[in-house]
Structure 1
Amino acid sequence: MRLILAAFVGGCLGTSLRFAADLAVPHSNDQFAAGTLVVNVLGALVLGWLVGGLWTRPSVPAWLKVALGPGLLGSFTTFSAVMVSVVAQGSTGLWALATGYLIASVVLGFGAAALGLWFGGRLPRPRERS
């Protein structure tokens, strides 16, 4: 039950942050969805950092991993929003914009995740007790 509650609370926070980002950087169907791209790239970077660093530590509780990963970041970032933008752009004939947006989303997302893993792997490790 603790893990479900953690995912729920994290999800509520992530959804609220995502909604705020959409309000801050609105776009129409025929525009480049910069806000969605920034949110997804930032989310990939942070998740990579968490997975590469903090989550490798046995002292980090499972409820915190669930709250931050699938909860907060899972609801903050959405690949479905990328697909909605790509389909909307394509349906209005903006295939170059749709293709560029999809490529930018995937390439920058993978790059941010890799960078996050790299940064996370360089976090100082706690000393083991002997």
Structure 2
Amino acid sequence: MPEGRAWLAVAAGGLIGTELRYGLGLAFPDLPGSIPWATLGINISGSFVLAALTTVWMARPHTAFWLRAGIGPGLLGSFTTFSAVILASDQLARAGAHPVWTAYLGLSLVLGLASAGAGWRCGRLISRNRDGRP
């Protein structure tokens, strides 16, 4: 049953992604009133990896659905969350750190989009090189 395999892959990927995110949050705790660098780094790196993998998978549609589901929405979906950005922004705003939360939101959007664009380009390069094209 393909749906069951995909469901299990998403659940397993989600468990791994959440644990990675939680562990990085513990390893690199946020300083009060400052940009939450760990969350920013997590979301930027996740945007890059997801865009690169999605681009490669589009060039190779035969990649198993359960694998794409487990890594995409499962692992990377739980590793990167926009809700963490909003929660941190809200906490900074309530603390009166208005320039910090504004900068954080701007950095999250701009760097996230730039990272996804770079991931897309890398994914295209990987796909071309695997096909034997220069």
Q: Same fold (TM over 0.5)?
A: yes
What residue number does 1:73 align with?
Answer: 76
2:51 pairs with 1:58: no
What residue number does 2:45 align with?
Answer: 42
The count of aligned residue pairs is 127
What's the RMSD between the two structures over aligned residues? 1.3
Q: Report the TM-score when normalising by structure 1.
A: 0.92
Trace 1:81-100 onto structure 2 (pairs within 5 A): 81-100=84-103
More helix by share: 2
What residue number does 1:33 align with?
Answer: 36
Structure 2 stretches of 5 or more lacking a match?
A: none
Structure 1 stretches of 5 or more lacking a match?
A: none
2:29 maps to a residue whose letter is: P
1:111 Cα deviation after fit: 0.4
- Percent identical among aligned pairs is 39
- The answer as to whether partners of 1:82 and 1:102 remain within 8 angstroms in 2 is yes
2:24 pairs with 1:24: no
- The answer as to whether partners of 1:29 and 1:85 remain within 8 angstroms in 2 is no
- The answer as to whether partners of 1:55 and 1:65 remain within 8 angstroms in 2 is no
Structure 1, residues 79-121: CA drift from partner, whole Å, max 9, x if none?
1000011111111111100000000001000000000000001
2:23 pairs with 1:15: no
1:32 Cα deviation after fit: 1.2
